[in-house]
Amino acid sequence: MSTPLLQVRDLAVEFRLKRGLLRPARTLQAVRGVSFDIERGQTYGLVGESGSGKTTIGRAILRLVPSSGGSIVFDGQDIGAFGRHTPLAYRRDVQVVFQDPMSSVNPRQSVGTTLAQAIARHRPMDADERRREVRRLVDSVGLASYYTERYPHELSGGQRQRVAIARALAVRPRLIVCDEPVSALDVSTQAQVINLLVDLQREFGLSYLFIAHNLDVVRHISHRIGVLYLGRLVEQGGAEAVHGAPSHPYTRMLMASTLVADPKVQAQRSRERRGQVRSELPSPLAPPTGCAFHTRCAWAAENCRTVMPLLQAAPQAGVQGACHRLREVAAPRAGAPLEGATA
Ligand SMILES: Nc1ncnc2c1ncn2[C@@H]1O[C@H](COP(=O)(O)OP(=O)(O)OP(=O)(O)O)[C@@H](O)[C@H]1O
């Protein structure tokens, strides 16, 4: 098997918060000890609540924030060795699609101009060839060729996201960081954009880091899934295994809090939710001791308050969980797989 396209090892990212009028300077550890691989032509899905560190990991890969520890190796090259200036080849190889497509397009430029500029920056070709390439791009994201004349305000949310994807594709990337690319879209448009990303992955052999807070959405596109809680991975494994029978109490909580159309599945998730501890997400500035999830965990025992659990093999094949009570959480009586999870 070939080496992964991207290897993240023990990644840490911290933000120094300046001192205010009434408070001292503080350090927020947004990401701590995170390790995962993205295989060539595959998708790694990253899920977690708001503030869990998903975007920060994406930004560290894009070199938009410096890491404070660990390493990120892209195609065998440690990107920490790049120094202050990111090489053009890396900026081309690793692209991003944001939740808000308007943030990556100029509202005063037509779709055609936006795409032509992206091509010109990284792939020298004559004007005729560039025009043909722009048409190929809009076609590959499922838009008719007349959309090259349109401006962003004339497009629907789904169409804008297709343009943002075409813009990322324009430079022939190898990895795309998809940061909540469908969260702002209605459910049917979400499915269309996800199907498009899957088709493009097959056609161009792309790898994705797919970031979202909804485990159901992530599962549709991912080969592997990592679940983040307060900057640490608490569960990771094959997408079907993690989604089908979550091993970590936090993953179960995330699943139970996601609404689904199927009333039977929804009833089961509601029952699961009733058995959970209702508590706010702790401040990332003062994460709880031991297992950071213990303040919200129905399974928490004494050692969970004091000893931080490391990722270890879960009963589910190929899954790792960072929990002292993995076996009990996975036991049928305490935590039968969430019904319909694999539907
Ligand atoms: N530039 C920054 N300066 C200070 N703190 C930051 C900065 N960027 C992120 N953070 C903090 O780091 C933590 C992780 O944020 P991040 O945006 O990565 O989370 P997230 O899981 O992507 O959440 P969301 O889904 O809301 O984007 C949060 O507590 C956030 O407030």
**Tell me, what's the pLDDT at 338?**
47
Confidence of residue 310 (pLDDT cuts 50, 70, 90): very high
Distance 113 CA to ligand 1 centre (A): 33
Length of the chain: 343
**Does pLDDT of 17 surpass 80?**
yes
Read off the amino acid at residue 130. R
Of the residues 26, 49, 52, 250, which should be mutated to test ligand 1's pocket, given the most ligand atoms within 8 Å of the CB?
Answer: 52
| Average pLDDT over the chain, rounded to an integer | 91
- Name the β-bridge partners of 207: 175
CA of 60 to the centre of ligand 1 (A): 12
133-179 residue pLDDT tens: 999 999 999 999 999 999 999 999 999 999 999 999 999 999 999 99
Task: Give, using CA atoms, the residue closest to atom 7 of ligand 1.
Answer: 15
> Cα separation of 32 and 177, whole Å?
20
Residue 331 pLDDT level (bands cut at 50, 70, 90): low
Strands 6-17 and 26-38: antiparallel
Quote the tokens at residue 343. Answer: 């539907």
Res. 343: pLDDT tops 70: no
pLDDT in tens, 21-30: 777 889 999 9
pLDDT at 337: 45
- Is 80 exceeded by the pLDDT of residue 237? yes
ipTM here: 0.97
Query: Atom of ligand 1 at shortest distance to CA of 49?
Result: 21
Whether the CB of 242 sits within 6 Å of ligand 1: no
For residue 11, what is the enclosing H or E element? strand 6-17
Q: Residue 261 pLDDT > 80, yes or no?
A: no
Q: What is the pLDDT of residues 69-116, one digit of tens each?
A: 999 999 999 999 998 889 999 999 999 999 887 777 888 999 999 999
Q: How far apart are CA 171 and CA 174, in angstroms?
A: 9
When comparing pLDDT for 334 and 117, which is higher? 117
Instruction: Provide the pLDDT for residue 285.
Output: 92
- CATH fold for domain 6-334: Rossmann fold (3.40.50)
Separation of alpha carbons 230 and 174, rounded Å: 29
Per-residue confidence (pLDDT) for residue 333, from 0 to 100: 43
Q: How many C-beta atoms surround the C-beta of residue 221 within 10 A?
A: 21
In eight-state DSSP terms, residue 339 is T
Q: Is the pLDDT of residue 194 over 60?
A: yes
The continuous run of DSSP H or E covering 253 comes out as: helix 249-256
Q: How far is the CA of 51 from the centre of ligand 1 (A)?
A: 5
pLDDT band at 335 (very low <50, low <70, confident <90, very high): very low
Q: From the CA of 180, give the closest atom in ligand 1.
A: 25
Q: pLDDT grade, residue 1 (50/70/90)?
A: low
**DSSP string of 164-226, one letter each residue:** HHHHHHTT--SEEEEESTTTTS-HHHHHHHHHHHHHHHHHHT-EEEEEES-HHHHHHH-SEEE
> What are the sequence ranges of the domains in the chain?
6-334
Apex CA 215: angle with CA 214 and CA 217, to 5°? Answer: 70
Confidence of residue 332 (pLDDT cuts 50, 70, 90): low
Tens digits of per-residue pLDDT, 50-75?
999 999 999 999 999 999 999 999 99
